A = this chain, B = another copy of it.
Amino acid sequence: MSDGPVRHRLLVSCADRAGIVAAVSSFLAGHGANITSSDQHSTDPSGGRFLMRMEYVLEGGDAVSLERAFGREVGAPFAMDWRISPSRPRKRVAVLVSREDHCLLDLLWRWRRGELDGEIALVASNHEVCRDDAEGFGVPFAPVPAKAEAQLLSELAAADVQLVVLARYMQILSGDFLERVGCPVINIHHSFLPAFVGADPYRRALERGVKIIGATAHYVTEELDAGPIIDQDVERVDHRHDIEGLEEVGRDIERRVLARAVQRHLEDRVLVLENRTVV
């Protein structure tokens, strides 16, 4: 991840109609922005929803006046939901863990390598076991007892984070918490959702005799394990895997799915449309 020039990101969601791409790209060209990447998706050319993500580099233009002009000249006429997200300063991230360390360690290591497009600003946990890892990577560690949602909210607010990651955090967060936290929450579920919604998925996978197990990273909503899926992955297993064997294979899947989902989110690549995502 080189430093290079600042890449701005424009995210757009609006009713689909002719002329959107033309209007946006003409506006950007007229303000000295060179588009370096563009992705778009239309749920249905007639009557559907249009989603777009553009990255551009400013060549001489001014970011603030461009943003103001965009709303007036393009956003309003097309009734867009839109957002311009400077890729720096990078988003601040809190990671919540319980006893399992693999997802946390993997995120910390990727962050140290510079692979993660954000800053890990806080590790919070209802156990002490991950304190040394967090502090070893130079990240503050906040012990927060289970159920102490008010304390957790205040730690997150103090750390000023824009993303919360549940890295095998074994506490269910209330709808009230999700409303008040004020930023997206990403969870890793240790099954190939919607198979094995809820607790103890590896044991249930063993009992059902599945030949493939998986993990799912999703945004957290009030309904348990039902939020929009960001990424999933799987591995083949067989009758020789007992419950510990499944968990061992599963840990590898969990950490790579969660890291990929967090990275996509930090790059503003995940667009949510009802209960689905466009990545």
A: residues with CB less than 8 A from B are 1-2, 17-19, 21-23, 25-26, 28-30, 32-38, 40-42, 45, 57, 59, 101-102, 105, 109, 113, 115, 136, 192-196, 207-212, 214, 228-234, 238-240, 244, 248, 252, 256, 273, 275-279
Which residues of the partner chain B approach A209 to less than 8 Å between Cβ atoms?
228-229, 275-277
Partner of A211, one of B115, B232, B256: B232
**Residue contact B115 to A109, C-beta cutoff 8 Å:** no
Contact of A279 with B238 in the complex, beta carbons under 8 Å: yes
Task: Kindly list the 4 A-B residue pairs having the minimum CB-CB distance in the complex, ordered from nearest.
Answer: A209-B276, A22-B25, A22-B29, A195-B195
Q: How many copies does the complex hold?
A: 4
Contact of A102 among B19, B109, B192 (CB under 8 A): B109
A interface: dominant SS? mixed
Q: How far is the CA of A39 from the CA of B35 in the complex (A)?
A: 13
Q: Decide: A45 near B34, CB < 8 A? Known: A25-B22, A195-B195, A278-B239.
A: yes
Q: Given that A232-B211, A232-B212, A277-B239 are known contacts, is A248 also in contact with B115, CB under 8 Å in the complex?
A: yes
* Shortest distance from the beta carbon of A165 to any chain B beta carbon, whole Å: 18
**Nearest B-chain residue to A28, judged by Cβ:** B22
Q: Which residue of B lies closest to A260 (CB)?
A: B252
Tell me, rounded to whole Å, the shortest Cβ–Cβ distance linking A168 to chain B: 13
Give every chain B residue within 8 A of A105 (Cβ-Cβ). 109
Which residues does chain B contribute within 8 Å of A101, judged by CB atoms? 109, 113
Given contacts A34-B18, A42-B36, contact A208 B192 (CB under 8 A): no
Once the chains are docked, how many angstroms separate the CA of A278 from the CA of B238?
Answer: 8
A41 proximity list for chain B (CB < 8 A)? 239-240
Closest to A245 in B: B1
Alpha-carbon gap, A256 to B207, bound state (A): 25
